[in-house]
Amino acid sequence: MPMDRETQIRLVNLRDETGVLSLYVNADPRQTGSQPPWKKRLEQGLRLLLESVDGRTRSILERRLHELALEIEHLVRPGSPGVGRALFVPLSDGETFSVEMQTPLTDRVALAPRSHIAPMFAAWAEGSPTGIAVVDGHGMRILDSRFGLCEEISGLAFEPRTEEWREFAGPATQKSAWGKREGQSSSSQRDLFDFRLAEHLNRFLAAAHTTLETHVATFGWEMLLVAGEPELVDATSKSLSNSLKNEVVPSQRVLGQATPAQIQQTLKPEMAAARRRRDERLAAEFAEAPPKASFGSTPTVEALQAGRVDRLVLERDSVWSGERIPPGSVLADGVPQSEPEVATALSEAELGEQMIEMGLASDAAVSILCDGVRLPEKAEGVGGFLRW
């Protein structure tokens, strides 16, 4: 499944009274061993899960695991695509849902009446969909970057009809500021030809704003990064609609005909820095938002239930951190945890998922802040911008 808002909503709404099995693996190619270590962690998590559930659920789970042997093998195979991989299995339904991305995911096994989507939303904070427009004398290349993968999806070729332009051989006549002839300039008519060509290129790139705005809406980009010579970047950016809510990030990287993977790798630090700046501004705006803001989980849940939340904001490590919920943890709904701290962390994660579900159901935006970006202390890691 492609990771977009539609996928978010579909996974959040995945339900099964018998249970939804959520499997996550982090297939880090740097990890070595006779068997992939992520395969060992998944097998251990499944064993612990089978030991934790009652007889009826265990028999259904064992049957489904047997039926899913090939899909699980694909999930853990070193040669399968994606570093972060996930498989969602409603136990009473034959349909399964899989996700693959180049962004790492936390190793985890979960069984509950609903899908477990915390690791997926944590990855969203790092690799959310971003548009890239590379501009140069040939026109514009448009790329989609999400979760470690980058694909060229469109482009606009600049092809001026210069055959209709006259190009003179001699030096151009120079005029004073008052319009009088003052001899000849040292620049050739070729310089004027190039200047005219540059003007047409700038107008061409400025006119591309409708194409970019359409792509932003179609692909759900949270940011649009425009890269190239400064004057071309400026020509492209200045005509974008003021109503475009997504952040436009200029870059002076001249990328020419680099491959999508090279473009993404080159721009990766700038995209990360732009995300952090965006989240820092969001946290600062939240601190100034009262009374149109909810602080803490209880007021935020109440506001979500009333459909008042316009944007749900979560500190990443308040609910989503792998340090708070150990890698390989088994999240079996209703199964008591042996360690109180882990049990508390799991309870917080479940509450966070419920808030995300309510937010998406009421068409609220969901923002999980970058590591280290904090809300005011009284928010205790979660809050909401309110509609009224």
Percent above pLDDT 90 for the chain: 41
**Same-domain status, 382 and 320:** yes
**What is the structure's pLDDT at 323?**
45
pLDDT by residue (tens digit) across 297-307?
Answer: 899 999 999 99
What average pLDDT score do residues 56-62 get? 90
**What is the structure's pLDDT at 239?**
83
**Same-domain status, 162 and 104:** no
For residue 282, being part of any structural domain is answered with no
pLDDT by residue (tens digit) across 76-128?
Answer: 998 888 889 999 999 987 789 998 888 888 888 888 888 888 778 778 777 88
The Cα 1–Cα 117 span in angstroms is: 14
**What is the structure's pLDDT at 258?**
92
**Same-domain status, 176 and 240:** yes
**What is the structure's pLDDT at 384?**
95
**Same-domain status, 71 and 164:** no
For residue 284, being part of any structural domain is answered with no
For residue 66, being part of any structural domain is answered with yes
What is the residue range of 250's domain?
Answer: 129-275
Q: What angle do CA 270, 85, 30 make, to 5 degrees?
A: 70
The residue ranking higher by pLDDT, 194 or 182, is: 194
CA torsion, ordered 316, 318, 323, 329, to nearest 10 deg: -100
For residue 225, being part of any structural domain is answered with yes
Kindly report the backbone phi and psi dihedral angles of residue 24, in degrees, each rounded to the nearest multiple of 5, phi listed first: -125, 140
Q: Is the pLDDT of residue 184 over 60?
A: no
Cβ-contact 277, 370 below 8 angstroms? no
Q: Which of 229, 251, 275 is the last residue of a domain?
A: 275
Cβ-contact 228, 255 below 8 angstroms? yes
SS3 per-residue string spanning the chain: CCCCHHHHHHHHCCEEEEEEEEEEEECCCCCCCCCCHHHHHHHHHHHHHHHHCCHHHHHHHHHHHHHCHHHHHHHHCCCCCCCEEEEEEECCCCCCEEEEECCCCCCEEEEEEECCCHHHHHHHHHHCCEEEEEEECCEEEEEEEECCEEEEEEEEECCCCHHHCCCCCCEEEEECCCCCEEEEEEEEHHHHHHHHHHHHHHHHHHCCHHHHHHHHHHHCCCEEEEECCHHHHHHHHCCCCCCCCCEEEEECCCCCCCCHHHHHHHHHHHHHHHHHHHHHHHHHHHHCCCCCEEECHHHHHHHHHCCCEEEEEECHHHHCCCCCCCCCCEEECCCCCCCHHHHHHHHHHHHHHHHHHHHHHCCCEEEECCCCCCCCHHHCCEEEEECC
For residue 280, being part of any structural domain is answered with no
**Same-domain status, 268 and 346:** no
Beta-sheet pairing, 223-227 with 247-251: parallel
Residue 5 binned pLDDT confidence (cut-offs 50, 70, 90): confident
**Same-domain status, 293 and 266:** no
**What is the structure's pLDDT at 177?**
42
For residue 281, being part of any structural domain is answered with no
Closest CA relative to residue 129, chosen from 331, 306, 329, 264: 264
Q: Which of 275, 302, 322 is the last residue of a domain?
A: 275
**What is the structure's pLDDT at 178?**
41
What average pLDDT score do residues 270-289 get? 92
**Same-domain status, 269 and 323:** no
**Same-domain status, 63 and 166:** no
**Same-domain status, 140 and 231:** yes
pLDDT by residue (tens digit) across 310-339?
Answer: 999 998 765 544 445 555 555 665 454 566
| Distance from the first to the final alpha carbon of the chain | 36
Q: Which of 248, 275, 302 is the last residue of a domain?
A: 275
What average pLDDT score do residues 345-356 get? 75
pTM given for the model: 0.76
Domain total for the chain?
2
CATH code, domain with 20: 3.30.1330.30
**Same-domain status, 269 and 142:** yes
**What is the structure's pLDDT at 254?**
92
**Same-domain status, 201 and 258:** yes
**What is the structure's pLDDT at 165?**
54
What average pLDDT score do residues 272-279 get? 92
pLDDT by residue (tens digit) across 137-160?
Answer: 999 999 999 888 899 999 999 987
**Same-domain status, 140 and 269:** yes
For residue 283, being part of any structural domain is answered with no
What is the rounded average pLDDT for all residues in the chain?
A: 83
For residue 271, being part of any structural domain is answered with yes
Q: Is 163 exposed, middle or buried (0-12, 13-18, 19+ CB in 10 A)?
A: exposed
